[in-house]
Chain A
Amino acid sequence: MFGLEKKDATLLLIVAVLTMCAPFILNPFPSDSGLAQFNAGYPDLMQRFVIFGIFAIGFNILFGLTGYLSFGHAAFLGVGSYSAVWMFKLLSMNVIPAILLSVIVAGAFALIIGFVSLRRSGIYFSILTLAFAQMSFALAYSVLTPITNGETGLQLSLNDPRILGTSISADGGIPVTQLFGIEMRSTYAMDVGPWLFQFNAGYYLCAILLLLAFYLSIRIFRSPFGLMLRAVKSNQQRMNYTGLNARPYTLAAFVISGMYAGLAGGLLASMDPLAGAERMQWTASGEVVLMTILGGAGTLIGPVLGAGFIKYFENIFSKINDNVLHQWFAFMPDGLEDFMVTIVHPFVGKGWSLTLGLMFMAVVIFLPGGLVEGGQKIGKLFRRKKAAEDTSPAAKTPAE
């Protein structure tokens, strides 16, 4: 199917079903129940899941295949966001030209940074990319204020020309981002008993692009080009003496992953048309590294899982405050309740990153292949159990 092996086509199909049904899957708890705060099926968060999924898929094409660890990928995300917002300011509120420009600009930016950084490998490459990203961040924050609007961040205003659209919408406000008339923020809410499911136009645009991005990444993984990228990771010496020039291969991978990051940045701006310099900061670059490693670097589905995992933690775990904790432990005697709340307190709410850090350490130590390896281990366990059940009667027969 679609020129894919059966296994890959199944994987693509699973991802397609999951993303299309995400508003149901992520909202398992009725809205009035105590567990409703663990629901993640609201448009804002779902958009972030898939956008950072795209970002991580692109990062994985570079890091997972060639082993070159870029520590400055957020720069491309930021560049993509700025380009998209400028498109909304100058051209129109349609997201298509904005997304196209953000991909192209991020790709060009990646070509320049990659050309310089790829002269070195290993830790030096990581440091070079980190330096470039921090430079971009500092420039966006200060010198480039006319383009980036500095600390405030780039925003839309009523004075923007928008030559193909309108500067001011019918009701006198700033027009909203749309795709041929479909507003990105428009949401259809479905009430099913106590559940509330929300279907957001912007989310579905992001989800479709995620599927395209995922499909393209499968094709790259299985292509001769992908094989060469893995050869770069495995043995550059042999590659050189086999008549292959590693440099253009790594540069192409770098530019492709930069374009993925630009797409993610453009989508972020399309969902919420503002761009700030903090999107380029090194913590943002580090986050995508965490996502990819947590999910499983070099695997197809890993980065998407990692992105979802981290974004879920960032948004859901961080909302658990002391009041919620008191509710949870209300069944305990007073003294014990306070004690439990004190113990759990540092790990939730603002301390969510502590929990995430501990989980990241656990994954890296016990599952070096990330969550995907964890899934495979569980799968193997089940299969072995099943196989043991199948063979055990036969094995017993001769003994009897």
Chain B
Amino acid sequence: MGILEVKDVNKRFGGLQALGNVNLSVADNTVHAIIGPNGAGKSTLLNCLVGKLIPDTGSVMFAGQSVLGRKPFEINQMGISRVFQTPEIFGDLTVMENMMIPCLAKRDGSFRMHAIESVLDEKALREKAESMLEEVKMLDKRNMHAASMSRGDKRRLEMAMCLVQEPRLLLLDEPTAGMARADTNNTIDLLKEIKARGNITMCIIEHDMHVVFSLADRITVLAQGTPLVEDTPENIKGHPKVREAYLGESA
């Protein structure tokens, strides 16, 4: 039994079958990549996992509990964090404030009336946030306005915000899209380090095969809403069905 079990999930948008009988099992403490051509249903699947979309049929179990019918914030509190395709951060706030919010959410739950205490007195949380920023090499930017940063920095900040929550499952939707080569390599190194530390499962959607093959333990190939193959990276590389789905050539 994996930590994430997706069974017979179907999702239809009008006449379009976005997901058809998707079955996916992600083992604990592994990195599972989901690849596939544009329109394969990767993002729809991810949205079904975090509560943004509700599948028409099927079940999604996380650590033995169903996530269906729960709101996104409840699913996050269960231990699933998500990095978006376009960075979703608190643009009006400083980098440090951005980091404090997930720290507070992790400690205090989805709502707590902390109206009189000062944020500056949260020493333990501030240290935690700072050490996470140090890890993604953004400590020198902690007082910057998040919206004024480069796209790569915004991505790293978003990842740091997710990681500081110490999620059991981290979902990454194209974490290196639009990044420079050097930044991509930094991100790969960071994710490898996180993985080595253990106690975290990652699910990556990615187009960059360099990233996929350097990180993934298992790969699922999705095409037209259905899983084509699921195997180790080595076996996926030369798989005829994968070549067909990506390149359209007949084997």
Contact = CB atoms under 8 A, between A and B. Distances in A.
Contact of A223 (B73, B77, B82, B117): B117
Contacts, number: 108
A3 B111 CA distance: 24
Nearest to B111: A248
Interface string A14-51: 00000000000000000000000000000000000000
A245 B74 CA distance: 8
A243 B73 contact: yes
B91 A226 contact: no
Contact of A244 (B50, B105, B118): B105
A234 B105 contact: no
B160 interface: no
A3 B118 contact: yes
Contacts of B114: 223-225
Interface range, A side: 20 to 34
Interface string B162-191: 000100000000000000000000000000
B89 A243 contact: no
A223 B73 CA distance: 21
Interface in A194-233: 219-220, 222-228, 230-231, 233
Interface in A104-130: none
A350 interface: no
B111 A244 contact: yes
Given A228-B104, A230-B92, A231-B90, A240 B119 contact: no
B116 interface: yes
B101 A231 contact: yes
B135 to A, nearest CB: 18
B144 interface: no
B246 to A, nearest CB: 30
Nearest to A232: B90
Contacts of B110: 243-245
B225 interface: no
B111 A223 contact: no
Interface in A219-278: 219-220, 222-228, 230-231, 233-235, 237-245, 248-249, 252, 256
Interface residues of B, number: 40
B161 interface: yes
Given A234-B91, A243-B165, A226 B97 contact: no
Contacts of A223: 114-119
Could you tell me the dominant secondary structure of chain A's interface residues? helix
Contacts of B105: 242-244
Contacts of A243: 73-74, 76-77, 102, 105-106, 109-110, 165
Contacts of A241: 50, 72-73, 76, 81-82, 84, 88
Contacts of A244: 73, 101, 105, 110-111
A5 interface: yes
A242 B117 CA distance: 21
**By CB atoms of chain A within 10 A, which of B97, B102, B118, B119 has the most?**
B118
Contact of A224 (B77, B106, B117): B117
Nearest to B78: A243
A255 to B, nearest CB: 11
A67 to B, nearest CB: 9
Nearest to A247: B111
Nearest to B88: A238
B195 to A, nearest CB: 21
Given A237-B88, A245-B110, A226 B115 contact: yes
A219 B116 contact: yes
B120 interface: yes
Interface string B21-57: 0000000000000000000000000000010000000
Contact of B93 (A234, A237, A240, A256): A234
Nearest to A235: B90
Contacts of B119: 222-224, 226-227
B115 A225 contact: yes
B101 A242 contact: yes
Contacts of A242: 73, 76, 81, 101-102, 105, 161, 165
B231 interface: no
Contacts of A230: 90, 92-93, 97
A228 B101 contact: yes
Contacts of B76: 240-243
B111 A249 contact: yes
Contacts of A224: 100, 104, 108, 112, 114, 117, 119, 122
Contacts of B97: 227, 230
28 contacts: A219-B115, A223-B114, A223-B115, A223-B116, A223-B119, A224-B114, A224-B119, A225-B113, A225-B114, A225-B115, A227-B119, A228-B104, A230-B90, A234-B90, A235-B88, A240-B72, A241-B73, A241-B81, A241-B84, A242-B73, A242-B102, A244-B105, A244-B111, A245-B73, A245-B110, A252-B113, A252-B115, A256-B115
Nearest 8 A/B pairs, CB to CB: A243-B76, A224-B114, A234-B90, A234-B92, A245-B110, A225-B115, A238-B88, A240-B72
Given A224-B117, A242-B76, A243-B109, 13 more contacts: A5-B120, A220-B116, A223-B114, A223-B116, A224-B108, A225-B114, A227-B97, A230-B93, A238-B158, A239-B101, A241-B50, A241-B88, A249-B111
Interface of B: 50, 71-74, 76-77, 81-82, 84, 88-93, 97, 100-102, 104-106, 108-120, 122, 158, 161, 165
